[in-house]
Amino acid sequence: MDSSRAGTPSPQPSRANGNINLGPSANPNARPTDFDFLKVIGKGSYGKVLLAKRKSDGMFYAVKVLQKKSILKKKEQNHIMAERSVLLKNVQHPFLVGLRYSFQTPEKLYFVLDYVNGGELFFHLQRERRFLEPRARFYAAEVASAIGYLHSLNVIYRDLKPENILLDCQGHVVLTDFGLCKEGVEPEETTSTFCGTPEPPFYSQDVSQMYENILYQPLQIPGGQTVAACDLLQGLLHKDQRQRLGSKSDFLEIKNHVFFSPINWDDLYHKRLTPPFNPNVAGPADLKHFDPEFTQEAVSKSIGCTPDTVAGSSGTSSAFLGFSYAPEDEAILDY
Catalytic residue among 2, 36, 159, 250: 159
80 vs 158: CA distance, rounded Å: 14
Please choose, from the candidates 124, 333, 140, the residue with its C-alpha nearest in 3D space to the C-alpha of residue 229: 140
48 is in an annotated binding site: no
57: annotated active-site residue: no
Please choose, from the candidates 194, 167, 199, the residue with its C-alpha nearest in 3D space to the C-alpha of residue 180: 194
Annotated binding site: 73
Catalytic residues: 159
Residues tagged in the binding site annotation for ATP: 73
